[in-house]
Structure 1
Amino acid sequence: MQQATNTKWLNRMVFAGTLLTASISTIASAAVLTSTKPLGFIASAITDGVTTTEVLLPDGASPHDYALRPSDVQKIRSADLVIWIGPDMEAFLTKPLQQVDEKKKIQLAELKSVKPLLSQGNVDHDHDHESHDADKHEDHDEHDHHHGSVDMHIWMSPEIAKQSAIAIHDKLLELMPQNKDKLDANLEQFEQQLKQTKANIANIMHPLRGKGYFVFHDAYGYFEKTFGLTQSGHFTVNPEIQPGAQRLHNIRTQLVEHKAVCVFAEPQFQPAVINAVAQGTNVRTGTLDPLGSNIMLGKDSYMRFLTQLSQQFTSCLE
């Protein structure tokens, strides 16, 4: 009788231990989910050694036209924290995130610390007159993320990145207060590294000030403002809308008039029109990667992203 009682007690202890282990495992594997990779760079610096960070969009995908898969919806529902910019950048997340508790998501563009730092996007009317083909302009309003409005490429701003990191730190502190020391240390390290990286890039960029260039996609305003670069113009505000013949003619004229040094394409969008426009001129062609597609998530990944972008500018403009 005593042996049976002892066996039952032992089984209960084992079961309780299993539940405790499962609970600890669940906490340890709690995931932070970001919409795009650059946000993942910022988040992974804060989550380092605390929890995991995942990115919703696969490499090569654009937030301008992404279509959610069922597995993506499941990731959104199961994540402990979802970080996005807002509907003007990631319209595809608006409905799914309506089902997520406010405590488990951060809309960066709506943060009180970020709003005063937002810049107006460039108004680009040229493509309105080029082509009225239905297939080119379908869903135009949904995807044109800063057509005369706010520039939502906020990860290009080191200062907004800092405020985003603080917000992520504070939210994770609410969700997992037992990790306060590590979260605090991660945020402090991020801020120190960011300060040093900005200083390094400022030195690199200084000789490039005043050199004109064109970008394919108008995504670099915050970076340019921070480091004093002078963009001569852009091919398109929305990379899903290809510039028409009249627009390209105007750009080619401006390349000559502005004595532009370089024209930049992007890994996600490598239109032949860039080479065609630059052909027969002294303008060099380069590539800018606004999503850091070749950089792995890690505690230093945002610093590597900013540094890589500065090197891409330098390699063509020098």
Structure 2
Amino acid sequence: MRPALPAVTALITAALLTASPALADAPAKTPKVVASIKPVHALVAAVMQGVGEPTLIVRGAASPHTYALKPSDARALADADLVFWIGPELEGFLAKPLEATATKATAVELMEAPGVALLDAREGGAWDPHDHGHDHAHEGGHEEVNTHVWLDPDNARAMVGAIADALEAKDAAHADAYRANAERTARGLAALDAELKAALAPVQGKPFVVFHDAYQYFEAHYGLNGVGAITVNPERRPSAKRLSDIRAKITSLGAVCVFAEPQFEPALVDTIVQGTKAKKGVLDPEGANLPDGPDLYPTLLRNIAASLKGCLGT
């Protein structure tokens, strides 16, 4: 007598699983994830710890303001399931490739993440003439926005939540790991925030000038007193008149420090501080010289705080 069909099916299934144990316990496929810039990559890597690693587009000391996509970047985008970026206002070089190349990917614009607070780009005084090439009209109703949203740790926590949500939606098998990582990262950011508030309290109110207006979120969050920028567009070298105007304003505003950036001609600061009492420092909004990975973001904020305190506090 032949066994009933369900019994045959059960025997075949058992035989296959015995012959190939991997079929019984195949690991869940991890999505291929791409992150645009180093701070975004750091937050994504923190949420993906133990599951997978995202691919970074803008590496090393390169800047999203001047970046040109490489063939390897295009290949990563073509293979991606998820792409995390700030948005077209910052990484303009990614806008068209996301449409044309990353055809199977879900693109997550973190500037639009729930809970991210946006600040309008500054104008007036030493912040103008206003011609930011990287801050454009914003769909959320802002005529112009400052795009460096990650430098407010509250925004970073909101971004971590959006990153975890997107990863869970794409990869439900690892949802528990993503959520646990996101919660741990949020707790770490809260502790970091308290640490930096205490460290920066003594230099609140002391005026300083930055290379370009990348630090508005950091300044607003910690009550700092940035009074102007050397250039309003880091893609263009400031004119001689602009440099002369900034030098005059350093004196009139009593700026204690002028900060360069590693990505953009720090030697300009030497020219600007000549004949003034201002000291020189370096601020890096993106972690140009920091190793990639989940530790980059807290190190980035600590380095900015240390540079500000070191120059303003002496």
TM-score bracket for this pair, using the shorter chain length: 0.7 to 0.9
Cα deviation, 1:218-261, whole Å, max 9, x if unaligned, reads: 10000100000001110112211121111111111111111111
Specify whether residues 165 and 247 from structure 1 end up closer, same or farther in structure 2 by C-alpha distance, changes over 3 A only: same
1:219 aligns to 2:219 (yes or no): no
How many angstroms apart in 1 are the aligned matches of 2:89 and 2:121? 12
Q: Which amino acid aligns with 1:190?
A: T
1:272 equivalenced with 2:267 (yes/no): yes
More helix as a share of residues: 1
Secondary structure of 1:217's partner? coil
Number of the residue aligned with 1:144: 134
User: Residues 169 and 217 from structure 1, CA distance in 2 versus in 1: closer, same or farther, beyond 3 angstroms?
Assistant: same
Matches within 5 A, 1:1-318: 17=20, 24=27, 27-28=29-30, 30-99=31-100, 100=102, 104-114=106-116, 117-123=117-123, 124-126=127-129, 143-145=133-135, 149-318=144-313
- Give the 3-state SS of the residue equivalent to 2:230 in structure 1: strand
* SS of residue paired to 1:144: coil
Residue 63 of structure 1 aligns to a residue whose secondary structure is coil
**Considering only aligned residues, what root-mean-square deviation do their CA atoms show, in Å?**
2.5
| Aligned residue in 2 for 1:131 | none
SS of the residue aligned with 1:307? helix
Alignment check: 8 A CA contact 1:121 1:146 kept: no
**Alpha-carbon contact 2:81-2:105 (below 8 Å) kept:** no
- TM (norm. structure 2) is 0.84
Q: Tell me, which stretches of 5 or more residues in structure 2 are unaligned?
A: 1-11, 138-142
| Alpha-carbon spacing, 1:146–1:314, altered in 2? closer, same or farther (3 Å) | farther
What is the distance in 2 between the residues matched to 1:181 and 1:127?
46
Instruction: State the distance in 2 between where 1:154 and 1:173 align.
Output: 23
Amino acid at match of 1:109: M
1:146 is displaced (CA, Å) by 5.0
CA distance in 2, matches of 1:256, 1:270: 22
Give the deviation of 1:158 after TM superposition: 1.0
Query: Relative to 1, partners in 2 of residues 1:276 and 1:144: Cα closer, same or farther, differing over 3 Å?
Result: same
- TM-score, L = length of structure 1: 0.83
Contact 1:73 1:96 in 2 (8 A): yes
Q: Which amino acid aligns with 2:257?
A: C
Percent of aligned pairs sharing the same letter: 37
Q: Hey, what's the Cα distance between the residues in 2 that align with 1:262 and 1:61?
A: 25
Q: Give the SS at the match of 2:54.
A: strand
